[in-house]
A and B are shown apart, each in its own frame.
Chain A
Amino acid sequence: MKKYHLPLGLIGLFIVLTGASSLDLFSDYIQTVLIYMGINVILTVSLNLVNGYMGEFSVGHAGFMAIGAYITAIITTRVIPHFVFGAPLIPTGLYPPEVGTWAEGPVVHLVFPVILLIGGLGAALAGLLVAVPSFKIRGDYLAIITLAFNYIVKSAFENTQALGGSRGLTSIPRITTVPWVFFWAAVSLWAIRNFIYSSYGRGVLAIREDEIAAQLMTVNTRRSKILAFCTSSFFAGIGGGLLAHLLLYINPSTFSIFKSTEVLVMVYLGGMSSVSGSLLGAIAYTGLVEVLRPLDLWKWVLIPLLLIFLMLFRREGIYGGREFKFLLPKEEVRAYAAASD
């Protein structure tokens, strides 16, 4: 029976959250903060796969988010209204008011996961653009490629007038809810945990330690890198899609290098190479930003200082390199126990 504790607990929590948010037990503010925490967990754990487990330095996570966000928002504001109401795909003026109405019924919650998946797949495809240079380039040079990727994506959206140019997309229906974000955060933690403990994941760890030795040990480094980058960007795309349907409008500057830096901060706050650390880091950071809100701009003076002190006095972050027991696969728990004997 013990085997089912975690899934049952998760399903229970999901039902409780659904009930609580449909009965309006939390205020809107608390709900929004919870949603941000969930989205940040998704972004952090997915970036940790590349920056922590694979030991690369990607600074362009927001670029993948942008792709996921734009694809999903295009589907919900353009493609579906086009087929339901016959609205034009590229609106000339303001949106007709009925466009958002399709998203009001319960049906939307059946369609939304599919839309998010499409957005995630689009972002994963873009992940190839970074994975392919990584065959040749490592370290600082790859960081430039990811940086350039971030700017290219942002600049490309800014220059596409059909997608609103620098004004971006508006009138996005609000679909992201607390239970959905909880669900996707759990899926991302589960998927990345399982990826790391699969044979591909161990290959990724081997690449971090020594790429040449990994190759000698028959790790298919190319395939592992592609898989890691695409998985990471897939979840970034999902996070972007969720964010778009929370903010209700997106524009290219939402996904600037600043957003990428924020995710980086969460990864290193939580600790590298740790799924639990990403969970803690994202929640702690989001909470901190909310707690410091009264400080206004000085908040952003304090947070970098915190990061510097963190690096000076606790380099591994909150929970770097360790895992909660419930996030470890059974065999690993046994191996840990055996090792500590």
Chain B
Amino acid sequence: MTYVLQQLVNAVQLGSIYALIALGYSMVYGVLFMVNFAHGDVFMVGAFIAFFAATLLKLPFVPTLLLSMLGTALLGVTIERVAYRPLRDAPKLSVVITALGVGLFLEYITLASLGPWRRTLPPLLPQQVYEVHNVRISALQLVIIGVSMGLMVLLDFFVERTQEGMAMRAIAYDQFAVPLMGVPVNRIISLTFAIGSGLAAAGGTLFSTAYPIIEPMMGMMIGWKAFIAAVVGGIGSIRGAVVGAFILGLVEIGTGAIFPSRLRDLLTFAVVWIILMIKPTGLFGVARRQKV
């Protein structure tokens, strides 16, 4: 029982990091109907900014987190402006290919300019471990879970309660009518990218405090996994992305606990396959009506 609870804590920790990244995929998909394949690498850039903020500027945790979120928000907006906006009317596939290109570009420019070495973030948080009924929770885990939950609640508030959030939902609902209602579509899309990238950077900072290895290719696997989380939850649905991320974290930690950890990726992807075979639109996704 203790073991199960312990693994559950780990699963929630991993799931909340996935959720922060998956949210970015889902939000962008909601407004642009495109899969932003560069998102995983935006996460990587966020981790690197956090690294330099913590080592070069010697900042403590909270400013590091904020700086990294701000930097990547700018990056996200720039990417949208330069690479995606000119393709707004193009077939969806061209944008997806552009996104793949942007992702590769970010990976290799980091690799070529900073080198392939693995960097480690200095310990920014107290290394304290609490024990509740034999279940060990580190201060780190509490902060990770707390910060991501906080950000998710903020996001939910923003999307559901503010005017900009309403505009975002409106674009997802009907892209053609919204400009006619006087909604500044470009500004809302930029805002979506800023928020999505900022959340990915928060994920990156938290990830690199928990698993302290930062390297240029780190965004690839985690990006794909967060994308899968978004799809399992039903892409375009914000709450779905969060649920999908926790399911993925649970599956991954669960299979890792029962089977040898080498099999983790294999089983995770197999589970995703099965979920999509049973429910092709994801758990919270609504099948888009196909017009005949």
Contact = CB atoms under 8 A, between A and B. Distances in A.
Contacts of A148: 228, 269-270, 272-273
B98 interface: yes
Interface in A289-307: 297-298, 300-301, 303-305, 307
Given A311-B98, A315-B94, A141 B276 contact: yes
A282 B14 CA distance: 40
Contacts of B262: 158-159
Given A136-B280, A159-B262, A311-B98, A261 B112 contact: no
14 contacts: A133-B280, A145-B273, A151-B266, A152-B270, A159-B266, A212-B290, A297-B108, A297-B112, A300-B107, A301-B112, A303-B104, A307-B104, A312-B87, A315-B87
A159 B83 CA distance: 39
A264 interface: yes
Given A212-B292, A307-B104, 19 more contacts: A133-B277, A141-B282, A144-B228, A148-B270, A151-B269, A156-B266, A158-B262, A159-B266, A264-B97, A264-B100, A265-B100, A297-B111, A303-B104, A304-B100, A304-B101, A304-B102, A304-B103, A307-B98, A311-B87
Interface residues of A, number: 40
B149 interface: no
Given A141-B276, A144-B272, A148-B273, A311 B105 contact: no
A137 B104 contact: no
B46 to A, nearest CB: 19
Contacts of A257: 220, 224
Interface string B87-125: 100110111111011111101110110000000000000
A328 interface: no
Interface centre among B98, B107, B262 (most CB of A within 10 A): B98
A155 to B, nearest CB: 4
Interface residues of B, number: 45
Nearest to A261: B100
Contacts of B277: 133, 136
B270 A311 contact: no
Given A133-B277, A144-B272, A145-B273, A301 B109 contact: yes
A27 to B, nearest CB: 29
What 6 A-B pairs have minimum CB-CB distances, sorted nearest first? A307-B101, A155-B266, A304-B104, A300-B108, A304-B105, A148-B269
B86 to A, nearest CB: 6
B interface secondary structure, majority: helix
A268 B100 CA distance: 12
Interface of A: 57, 133, 136-137, 140-141, 143-145, 147-149, 151-152, 155-156, 158-159, 210-213, 257, 261, 264-265, 268, 272, 297-298, 300-301, 303-305, 307-308, 311-312, 315
B11 interface: no
Given A152-B266, A159-B266, A301 B108 contact: yes
Contacts of B282: 141
B280 A137 contact: yes
Given A140-B35, A147-B224, A148-B273, A307 B97 contact: yes
Nearest to B263: A159
A144 B276 contact: yes
A136 B280 CA distance: 7
Given A311-B94, A311-B98, A155 B269 contact: yes
